[in-house]
Structure 1
Amino acid sequence: MSTTLALLLGLQTAAPPPTPEPEPAQEEPTGRLGPAQQGSGDVVVTARRRSESVQRVPLAISVIGGEAIAETGAYNVSRLTQLQPSLQFYSTNPRNSAANIRGLGAPFGLTNDGIEQGVGIYVDQVYYSRIASASFDFTDTERIEVLRGPQGTLYGKNTTAGAINIVTRRPSFEPEARAELSLGDYEFVQVKASASGPLVADAVAIRLSTSITTRRGTIYNVRSREWQNSQDNQGVRAQILWRAADNLDLTLTGDYNRQDPNCCVQYYARVGDTQRPANRRYPALAAAQGYAVPSTDPFDRLTDVDTEIRAKQKLGGLSLLAEWDLGPGTLTSVSAYRFWDWDPSNDRDFIGLPITTVSANPSQQEQWSQELRYASNGRGALDYVAGLFLFHQTIDTQGLQVQGSAASAFLLNPTSAGARNNVLDGLTARNTIAFSNTSAALFGKLTWRPTDRLSISPGLRLNYDRKKGSYVSVVTTGMGSTTLTADQRGVLAPQAYEPRFSQWNLSGDLTLAYQFSDTVNGYATYARSYKSGGINLSGLPLDAANDPILSVASVEPEKVNHFELGLKTQFLDRRATVNLAAFWTEIEDYQATVTNNQVGVLRGYLANAGKVRTRGLELDTAFRPTERLSLYANAAYTDAEYARFVDAPCPPELTGGAQSPPNCDISGQVLPGVSKWAASWGAEYGVPTRLGDVDGRFYLGYDASHRSRFSSNPSPSVYTYVDGYSLHNFRLGFKSDGWNIFGWLRNAFDEEYFDVLSVQSGSTGLIVGQPGDPRTYGVTISRAF
C-alpha cells in the first residue's frame, strides 16, 4: 500500500508542520478521504518508534487504516495479503501458519516450535511470538503498518524479514462509542463494538471493545453431514489509561480471545505420479479398498474425512505500557505476559479411509517480555533510539498419533509380513514435548543530519538466544506392547532426545537518506542481520536402523545480507504518490522444512539450506484526480530462489521407489509460497448527496488483487504448484455523520483457487488442498458516536 493509499483507506492525517517532522495526527472524521490529504497533509506512523511522516521514513512501509479493514473485509492477518502484494500468509490451521514478506520469514510446511519467525507481529508494541497467537480478529484497530526488510535495530525481538505493527485506538477522555454489524451469506455474522470515556476527569480513561465472528463452513463433509472450515471467534479487550503526571502515561491492557471453529480440512485435489509401483499408488490403493472420494473436483467442496476436525484455541494476555517524557527524550517501558492454548484435531490422511485416525498436538504456550526504550525528542541534527529487550517463552505439547485399519495397506509394501498381518492397526505414538526459549538484546539506532537534507542512520543489535527442549515419543502397538517390528518402527519410531542451542550475535544496519525536495525522498540501506538458530521439536529423521539421527537435532542461525534502494515521491499538490523500492537479500544457512525419505511416513524436520536469494521491485502508487475519485495500484516483483541447496528433499515424483535418490539438488529453483508477480489495485468514487435533512455521500468502491502461480511444496513439484488467480471485490454504500452503510461482494467472479496444496504421507501421489473462499456477499452497518 502506498502512502497516499493509506489516506484513501481512512488513516489518521495531519496538516504539515513547520518542522521537518510532523506532530502526531488527529483522527480524520470525514472518512477515507479527508481535507488534510487534499491540502497536502501527512500520514503519521510510529514504525521507527517515534511519530513521523511516512513519506520521510527511509524504509519500505505500507499502512492500512482502520476504516479500510472494515470496508475491504481484511479483519485478520491472513486477509491483509489482498491489500499488500509483498505479504504472503499460508495456513492449514492456526498453528501451521506462516507469514512471509518478500518470500522470507518462516519455513513453508508444518510448523516447528523450535525456531523463530522472521516476520514479527506487534500489537501496541507487544511482541507476539507465534503467528498463531496473532490469528485473532482485529478489534478497534486504528492502523496497521507493514514494514518490509530487517527491523532488528528498532524492535525488541529480532525480525529479519519485516514486521507487522498493529496499533489500536487508545482510551479517550472524550466519551465515544463505535458499533459495527456485518451480515452475509454462509450465515456470516460479525459484530464489533467499543466504547471509551473518562473514569476520572483528565486522569483516567478506559476503552472496552469486543468482536464476535461466526460463519458456516464452505466445505461439506458427506460422512459427518456437517459444514467444515467454519469460523467461530470471540474476543474482548480492555485498556485503562492513567495520566499519572503531566509527563507520564500508564496504559494497562488486557485481552482474551476464544476460537472454536469446525476447522481445518484439506482434501482431494489431484493425483500425481511417484516412483512407487503402479499398484502402490493412490488410485490402485483406493480401488483395492473399494474407496472413492465424494468428488474428484475439489471445487465441488465435498469431503468425507473420518476424523473429527477441530481448531480450538484460547489466547490473551496483559501488558503495561509506560511512557515518561523526560524532556530531552521519552523513556518507554513495555511489560507483557501472553498465553496461547491450542486444542486441535486433524485428519492427516485427508480421505475417508482409516489410515491415520488421530493426529493432534495440543499445546500450551506462555511468554513474558520486557522492553525498555529511550528515544530522543529533539528535532536537531541528532536523534537516537536505544533499547533493552528480554523475552522468555515456554511451550508444552502432548502429541498423539494413531494409525487405523487401512494404514498397513497404504503405508507398507504388500510383500512385508506387516502388511499381510495388518500390524499398523492401532499403532500409537504419544509424544511429550517441552520447549524453553530465552533471549535478550541491546539495540539502538542513531540518526545524524549533517545537512538539512541528508541523514545518516547506523544501527546495532547485540543478541543472545538460548533454546532447550525435550522430545519423548512412546510408541505402542494395538495390543499395548512397546516391542515393535521393523515395519512398525518405520512408520512410528520411539524417540527421546534433548536438543540445545545457545549463541551470541552482533548485527547492524546503515541507512543513508536524502531529501531532494519537500516531496521527493530517497534512501539506501544495508543490513547485516541474524535469525536465531533453533532446535527440532517434531521428531528426527531415522537412519537405516530406524534410530533418530541426533546430529540434526539443532539448526544454525540464518545470516542475512540485505540491500535496498527506495524513492518516495508526491506531486500534483500531493494528490499523487509514487513510491519505489528495490531490494536484494541473501541468506546463508536458510532454515528450511524438509522431509526424510521414508516410504511409510512423511516426517518434517528442520535443516539448513546452503543459501537463499530473493530480489525484487515494489511499486506503490495512488492518485486522486478529482474530489470524487481516488485510485491506487501496487505491484511487487519477487524473484526468490534456493541459490544453493544440494541435499534437499526430493519432490513427490522422485520419491517412493527402490532407486529413488535419497536427496535432490534444487539449487536455482524457486522458494515455496512466493508469487513472482503480485499486485493490488482499486478505486472509489463518491457523490455528495442530501437525503432529507442528512448530508452524506454515496460511494462505489472496487478492490482487486492478483498473484501469479507459486510452489506449495518445499521442493518444487509439477503437482504442487498453485495456479495464479485474481480476486475482485466491490462495495456500494452511503456515509453520513458517523454512519457507514454498504453492501459488499467479495471474490465477485467466484474465482476457483487454492490457498495451499500438500502431499499425502507415503509417496502415494495423492495431492490434497485447501480451496480459498468462494464468492460471498453481505452488508455492513457501522456507527461512530
Structure 2
Amino acid sequence: MNLRKKLILPSLAFVLASNLYANKLYTVETTSLEDAISKISKKAEIPYLVDTTILKGKKAKKIKDIQGLENALKAILEGTELEAIIENNMIMIKEKKEIRQETIALNDVTVTSEKLERNLQDTTTSLSVINSKVLKDMHINNLKDTFSFMGNVNTSDWLDSGFVIRGINSEGVGGPSGTPLGTLYIDGVAQTQGGTRRGPTGMWDVEMVEVAKGPQSTLRGKSSLAGAISINTKDPSFEEEAAIRLGMGNSEYKEAALMVNVPINENIAFRVAGEYNHSEGQINYPTYKDLPRYDERNDDDYWQGRAKLLYANDDLKAVLTHIRSYNSPSYDDVMYGSGFGYDLSDKKWTASWLDWIEARSTKTNQTSLDTSYFLKDNLELKLFLSHVDTEVEKKSINLARNQIDTQKELVQELSARYTDDNFEGIIGLHLSQAEDSSLRDNKSELNTSSIFGESEWQFIDDFKLITGFRYEIDNKKYTSNDENYDEDFNIFLPKIGIKYQIEDKQNIGFVVQKGYRPGGVDFDDSNNESYKYDEENAINYELSYRSLWNEDTLRFNANMFYMKWKEQQVSYQQDFFDPYSDRTVNAGESHLLGGELELAYEVNPSFNIFSSIGIVKTEFDDFKLNIGSEVINFAGKSFPQSPEINASLGARYNHPSGFYLGGNLNYNSGVYSRNILEGSESYRDEKLSSFAVVNLQTGYRFKNYSINFWVDNLFDKEYITYRDGNPYANSPQMYATMGKERRFGINIEARF
C-alpha cells in the first residue's frame, strides 16, 4: 500500500464514522452517569474509557433525541466538571483541566455540606460557597477573609471567640457557653474551640469553603444550631503537579507556600502542602516591648503542614490526612479616652495588670481516614475516623501565668448513601468522645451517640419530599474542685420539607427542622460554686429559591427564614472587674427573622460580578438578668454582634493578555457590643457604628505563573468591633477592639 492510500483510507474511515455518530439520535432516561455513558457508548458502537472514581456522586442530565455523539455526551456531562474526548474510535471521559477560561462555572458547583454530593442549585440549605478559583483570584489567605464575600456571615468581635452566622456567635450569645452553636470542619474533622479560633484555617491548596446557615442538626447534631463551616482541602490526583508562592508586604508581612502532588502508581497518589505567614500587629505597646511574650502578643505568626495519601480503584476510595498547625495571631485591643490620655487613633494598650494580659498561641494536630466503598453505582458505604488534639497556651505576657488547655476529640461515623432516579438518601451512625481540660483542675467530657438519616424522594413529577431525623444521646461529665457531674441528654431532631421544580433551572423549597444544644454544668469562680443550666432548642422555618438565567450565566439564589428559640443559653459577666465571674443562664425566648440573597453574573468571558446580602433581625422576647444590683430587661434588644444588614459586592475583569483587576466591598450595619452582658452600664443602649471596607487585587497571569498585587482595607477605614468603658472612672476610660488597618503586598505564584 502506498503512502497516499495509507492517508486516504483512515481519513475516509474517520469521516464515515463521524457522519455515523452525527446522524444518530440519543435518548437517556437515567440519571446514573455511568449508565448514561454506557448506553450512549453502546448506541454509538464504540467503547469508552473512564476512571469510575471520578463518576461517583455525579448525575447525568436526562436527554431526548439529541443528534450526534458529541452533543449527547456534552449534554449528559453538563454540570459534572467532566469532559468527553473522542479519539481513535474511543470515548474518553476525563476531568476538566483546572486552568480554563477565567470565568466562574455557575452551574458547575458541587457541594458536600449536606453529606450528599449535590449541585449547589439542588440544595434547600442556604449555602455560601467559595471555590479554589475565587480563593486564588481574590487573595483570600485565611477563613476569616472568606466571610467578607458572604451574607449573614461575620467574624466575631475579638480574637478569642468564634464566628457569627445569622447574628449568632458560634460560641454562644454573650461569652463562650457550653457546647458550640456552630462548628468548623476541616476535611470533615470537627475542630475544637481552640482549633476554631486558631486552628489550620489557611486557604493554601484548598478546594472549597462552604458555609451552611441555619440549623444543621439532623446531619451534624448538637453543635450546629447556628450553622456549620466546611473547609475541604485538595485531595491527591493522578497527575504530577507542584506549586509555590512567595510574597511580602507592609507591616513586615511575609508569606511562603508550597505544594507537591505525586502519583505513586495507578492506584496511589500523595500530596503535601505547607504555608507560612508572618506580620507585625497594628497596636502600640509602649511599656511591653521588654516582656518575654511581647512578640507573641504583637506579631501574627501562622504555619500549617498537610499530607494526604489517596488510594483508589473501581470499588474503593480512601484518603488518609494529617494536618499540623501553629497559630499565634496578633491582638487588636486598645485603650483610649481622657482618663488614659490618648485617642482611639493612637492604637495604644498600656494596661498594668500584666498577670492577666495574655499572649495565646495554639498548636493543632489532626488525623483522619475517609473511606468510601462503592457496592454499585448507586450505593456507597462510607467510614470516617478522625482524631484532633489542640493545645492552647494561655500564658500571660510576663509569664506569671502559664496555663495550658488541652482539647481532644475522637470521632467514628459509618454511613450508607443510596441514589437512583427518584430517590437519594443517607443513613448513619455517629460516635464521638470529646475532652477539655486545663491547669485549673477543671475537666469536662462529652460523649455522643446518634443515629441519623436524611432523604429526598420525588413522589410525583416535579415534587420532592424532604425528610430527616437524628436521635442523639449526649453524656456530659464535669469535674471541678472535687465536685462531679454526670448527666445524659436525649433528643429527637426531625426535619421535613418539600421542593418543587418550577422548570429546568428553577426550584423552590420549604423546610422545617429542629435545632438543639445540650445543657450542662459549669463552675462560678467568683462565687466558688458549681451550677447547672438547661438544654435549649429551636424550630427553624425556611423557604429557598434557586435559579439560573441567561444560558446559565446568571445565578440568583435566595433563602428566607424564621427561627423560634426557647431556653436560650446566654453567658454574662456578673462583675465588670472580675473576668472569671461569667455565668450561663437560660433566657426565656428569642427569635430570628431574615434572609440571604446570592447573585453571580458572567457578563462576558472576561468580566463577572457577584453579590451577597444578609438581613437578620434578632430579638430577645423574654430575658431578664441580675447584673450587680440591677435587674435588666433585655426584651426587645437584638443579640450582641448581630448586624441587621451585611452585604458584599464585587467584580473581576480578566484581559486576554493576562492582566486582571478585581475587588469587593463589604458592609456591616451597627451592632450592640458584647459589653451589654459584661456587667458594664457603658453604651448599653448604643450600637457600634456601621462600617464598609474595600479590598482590591490586580496583577498579570502568564501560562504557569502569576504576579499579584493586593490591598486589604484600601481606604484604611478605622472601625471597632467591641467597646466598653470603666463605669467607675472619674473621666472616660474606654476599651475597644480595632478592625484591621490597611495592608498591602505582592506575591509571585508558579504552577508546574
Instruction: Please confirm whether the aligned pair reaches a TM-score higher than 0.5, indicating the same fold.
Output: yes
Say which of 169, 175, 196 aligns to 2:261: 196
> C-alpha distance in 2, partners of 1:672/1:346?
28
Following superposition, the deviation at residue 258 of structure 1 comes to 1.7
Say which of 163, 166, 171 aligns to 2:231: 166
**Residue 331 (structure 2) aligns with:** 264
**Residue 213 (structure 2) aligns with:** 148
Say which of 150, 154, 159 aligns to 1:93: 159
The 8 Å contact of residues 78 and 89 in structure 1, kept in 2 or not, is answered as: yes
The 8 Å contact of residues 745 and 775 in structure 1, kept in 2 or not, is answered as: yes
**Residue 693 (structure 1) aligns with:** none
> C-alpha distance in 2, partners of 1:760/1:374?
56
Following superposition, the deviation at residue 28 of structure 1 comes to 5.2
**Residue 712 (structure 2) aligns with:** 746
**Residue 248 (structure 1) aligns with:** 316
Following superposition, the deviation at residue 270 of structure 1 comes to 4.8
Say which of 683, 692, 698 aligns to 1:718: 683
**Residue 514 (structure 2) aligns with:** 528
Say which of 416, 426, 444 aligns to 1:385: 426
The 8 Å contact of residues 269 and 311 in structure 2, kept in 1 or not, is answered as: yes
Distance 1:743 1:383, change over 3 A: same
**Residue 669 (structure 1) aligns with:** 637
- 1:371 and 2:413 correspond: yes
The 8 Å contact of residues 671 and 714 in structure 1, kept in 2 or not, is answered as: no
Following superposition, the deviation at residue 325 of structure 1 comes to 0.5
Say which of 604, 608, 611 aligns to 2:582: 604
Equivalent residue runs for 1:458-477 within 5 Å: 458-472=467-481
- 1:47 and 2:113 correspond: yes
Say which of 375, 379, 393 aligns to 1:329: 379
Equivalent residue runs for 1:294-333 within 5 Å: 296-306=342-352, 307=354, 309-327=358-376, 328-333=378-383
Of stretches 737-746 and 507-516 in structure 1, the one that deviates more from structure 2 is 737-746
SS at match of 1:78: helix
Deviations 1:596-626 (A, max 9, x none): 2587666112111111211112111122222
Following superposition, the deviation at residue 761 of structure 1 comes to 9.4
Give 5+ residue unaligned stretches, structure 2: 1-56, 64-75, 83-94
SS at match of 2:146: helix
> C-alpha distance in 2, partners of 1:108/1:85?
19
Give the aligned residue type for 2:314: D
> C-alpha distance in 1, partners of 2:307/2:728?
49
Following superposition, the deviation at residue 638 of structure 1 comes to 0.8
Of stretches 621-630 and 364-373 in structure 1, the one that deviates more from structure 2 is 621-630
- 1:180 and 2:260 correspond: no
Distance 1:203 1:135, change over 3 A: closer
- 1:701 and 2:662 correspond: yes
Distance 1:601 1:318, change over 3 A: closer
Of stretches 45-54 and 593-602 in structure 1, the one that deviates more from structure 2 is 593-602
> TM-score normalised to the size of structure 2?
0.82
- 1:778 and 2:738 correspond: no
**Residue 419 (structure 1) aligns with:** none
**Residue 693 (structure 2) aligns with:** 727
SS at match of 1:721: coil
Following superposition, the deviation at residue 70 of structure 1 comes to 3.8
**Residue 85 (structure 2) aligns with:** none
**Residue 67 (structure 1) aligns with:** 133
> C-alpha distance in 2, partners of 1:331/1:45?
19
Following superposition, the deviation at residue 526 of structure 1 comes to 0.4
Deviations 1:230-284 (A, max 9, x none): 21111101011122x42112211111112345x435231458xxxxxxxxxxx4x
> C-alpha distance in 1, partners of 2:471/2:58?
36
Say which of 492, 501, 504 aligns to 1:506: 492
**Residue 102 (structure 2) aligns with:** 33
**Residue 299 (structure 2) aligns with:** 230
**Residue 72 (structure 2) aligns with:** none
> C-alpha distance in 2, partners of 1:714/1:611?
21
The 8 Å contact of residues 104 and 602 in structure 2, kept in 1 or not, is answered as: no
Distance 1:359 1:705, change over 3 A: farther
Equivalent residue runs for 1:359-438 within 5 Å: 361-376=403-418, 378-398=419-439, 431-438=440-447
> C-alpha distance in 2, partners of 1:206/1:611?
51
Deviations 1:291-350 (A, max 9, x none): xx3x53122222223436421211012111111001141111110111000112357xxx
Following superposition, the deviation at residue 532 of structure 1 comes to 1.7
Distance 1:585 1:104, change over 3 A: farther
Distance 1:91 1:342, change over 3 A: farther
Distance 1:211 1:455, change over 3 A: same
**Residue 278 (structure 1) aligns with:** none
**Residue 67 (structure 2) aligns with:** none
Distance 1:497 1:158, change over 3 A: same
- 1:579 and 2:647 correspond: no
Distance 1:45 1:28, change over 3 A: farther
Deviations 1:35-70 (A, max 9, x none): 855xxx421222222222101112211110123234
> C-alpha distance in 2, partners of 1:80/1:239?
24
SS at match of 1:449: strand
> C-alpha distance in 1, partners of 2:478/2:581?
18
> TM-score normalised to the size of structure 1?
0.78
Deviations 1:494-548 (A, max 9, x none): xx643443211101111211110111111101012211223224x2553xxxx53
The 8 Å contact of residues 588 and 612 in structure 1, kept in 2 or not, is answered as: yes
Give the aligned residue type for 2:387: Y
> C-alpha distance in 2, partners of 1:248/1:153?
27
Following superposition, the deviation at residue 763 of structure 1 comes to 8.4
The 8 Å contact of residues 388 and 441 in structure 1, kept in 2 or not, is answered as: yes
Distance 1:97 1:34, change over 3 A: closer
**Residue 518 (structure 1) aligns with:** 504
Following superposition, the deviation at residue 128 of structure 1 comes to 1.6
Distance 1:536 1:358, change over 3 A: farther
Following superposition, the deviation at residue 178 of structure 1 comes to 1.7
Distance 1:746 1:562, change over 3 A: same
> C-alpha distance in 2, partners of 1:24/1:48?
20
The 8 Å contact of residues 167 and 639 in structure 2, kept in 1 or not, is answered as: no
Distance 1:508 1:360, change over 3 A: farther
- 1:342 and 2:392 correspond: yes
Give the aligned residue type for 1:574: D
Give the aligned residue type for 1:462: Y
After superposition, the CA RMSD in angstroms is: 2.7
Deviations 1:427-446 (A, max 9, x none): xxxx3211111111111012
Following superposition, the deviation at residue 630 of structure 1 comes to 0.9
SS at match of 1:362: strand
Distance 1:249 1:759, change over 3 A: farther
The 8 Å contact of residues 511 and 542 in structure 2, kept in 1 or not, is answered as: yes
Deviations 1:93-150 (A, max 9, x none): 34x43443443533244434xx211112112222223223645323310011111111
Deviations 1:183-213 (A, max 9, x none): 11001111121111112x1121111000101
> C-alpha distance in 1, partners of 2:579/2:380?
55
Following superposition, the deviation at residue 23 of structure 1 comes to 3.9
Residue identity (%):
20
